[in-house]
Structure 1
């Protein structure tokens, strides 16, 4: 018989906010080049999980895809709020599957919510909750390891955007590779040159 009792889990959520060099529009453009829109057609055409893995490698050259983009500025237009802001859902369902198989509740935190916005000084900022802190809250080692791997991918993304990578994202030890999916590595200069 299933336990129908409600559960409550209190956990650490660590918000990381970094300044990204460039104008708001420039940072959004660079981010959207590095984190392309998920190719639903390619994933629907996959006849096996192996084909889905290959589609993920093609769709997410730096490990992440965009599942949603919301122009907060547009919906707040006319209010007294002076900010530019765009929110995103960023993730990779092939990576998320490695957690989902252990606990479907992880999808509460996958994909990750991210925000690009301008602050009161006019700087462009990128904000996200640190993946490893979110996924460690499930208390399953296999999920925690994936959260740490997502920290590594996030650190790489921030470096490619030209932001200072928070020390909390620096890997303590190299996490094990998670199946066939590997984020392609390219020098930041090469990525910026294509933007």
Structure 2
């Protein structure tokens, strides 16, 4: 079977932010995972199945996750990469703000390619931790819709707030 396809290529500039902090890796991971609690899709669907109240669900998350972000995935590539000879401790998180994510998805389901956000942290070679992520606003601006650009800017602000809550200064790229 074959399908007809229309192809669209959209080039855009991504901005990767990298922060180096003196925080010990294990301490940073623990603080991050406390500030951004885990909420799997299965658990979220189970909560919503009780009453279907999306607004109540999003408001309720603010009590559990004051930053607005929850972790929908946690990966530890270091466990596998250790076998390849790379001993660096590393964690990757998929984080989502369900309120903003829902608005993004309503405008264009393809935004799910960039939401949840990916945040990576690894132990620095000389001590401390390196944190990296792509600037959310760059990805969502590429869709060419003002509402998505605005939502990307909201995610930038929320991510900056989260980093400040974790004891770091707001990165320059997230100051607007």
> What secondary structure sits across from 1:101 in the alignment?
helix
> Match of 2:61?
56
Structure number having the greater helix percentage: 2
How big is the shift at 1:82? 2.5
Deviation at 1:139? 0.5
Matches within 5 A, 1:1-195: 4-38=5-39, 39-40=43-44, 41-171=46-176
Structure 1 residue 119: Cα displacement: 2.2
Give the distance between the partners of 1:115 and 1:46, measured in 2 at CA: 35
**CA deviation after TM superposition for structure 1 residue 169, in Å:** 0.6
**Alignment check: 8 A CA contact 2:22 2:127 kept:** no
Distance 1:86 1:141, change over 3 A: same
Pair 85,46 (structure 1): closer, same or farther in 2 beyond 3 Å: farther
| C-alpha contact (below 8 Å) 2:69/2:98 kept by paired residues | no
Per-residue deviation, 1:65: 0.3
Give 3-state SS (helix, strand or coil) of 2:163's partner: helix
Return the alpha-carbon distance in structure 2 between the equivalents of residues 87 and 44 of structure 1.
Answer: 29
For residue 71 of structure 2, give the secondary structure of its aligned residue in structure 1.
strand
Give the C-alpha shift of residue 91 in structure 1.
1.0
Contact 1:67–1:90, Cα closer than 8 Å, also in 2: yes
TM-score by length of 1: 0.80
- Displaced runs of 4 or more, over 3 A: none
Question: Which runs of 5 or more residues in structure 2 are unaligned?
Answer: none
**How far has the Cα of 1:149 moved from its partner?**
0.6
Q: Is the 8 A contact 2:140 2:148 kept in 1?
A: yes
Secondary structure at the residue paired with 1:77?
Answer: helix
Deviates more, 1:17-26 or 1:63-72: 17-26
